[in-house]
């Protein structure tokens, strides 16, 4: 299993986790952070229920 370090901000909270590199963002939000508002409806991304807003932060 290949892992990846995640370092981001979600809802104003700094998040640092090591996760499986194949993990979907929706699974990360739901299972790692317990944010259950993101739903996967169609499994293909066409229905829009899994849409999240993401703005990467720049490292200084």
pLDDT tens across 32-54, in order? 999 988 888 877 778 877 788 87
Q: What six digits make up the tokens of 28?
A: 């990360």
pLDDT, position 51 = 81
Which residues, in sequence order, are CB contacts of 51 under 8 Å at separation 6+?
none
Is residue 52 packed enough to be buried (19+ CB in 10 Å), middle (13-18) or exposed (0-12)? exposed
Reported pTM: 0.73
pLDDT, position 60 = 61
Indicate whether 25 pLDDT > 80. yes
Instruction: Place 5 in a pLDDT band, splitting at 50, 70 and 90.
Output: very high
Indicate whether 55 pLDDT > 80. no
How far is it, in rounded angstroms, from Cα 18 to Cα 6?
6
CB 24 within 8 Å of CB 39: no
* Assigned superfamily of 1-50: Beta-grasp domain (3.10.20.30)
**Domain range annotation of the chain:** 1-50
Q: How many CB atoms lie within 10 A of CB 9?
A: 10
């Amino acid at each position: 299993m290949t892992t990846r370090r995640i370092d981001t901000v979600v809802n104003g909270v700094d998040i640092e986790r090591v996760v499986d590199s194949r993990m979907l963002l929706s699974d990360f939000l739901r299972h790692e952070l317990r944010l259950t508002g993101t739903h996967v409806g169609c499994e293909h991304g066409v229905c829009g229920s899994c849409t999240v807003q993401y703005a990467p932060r720049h490292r200084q």
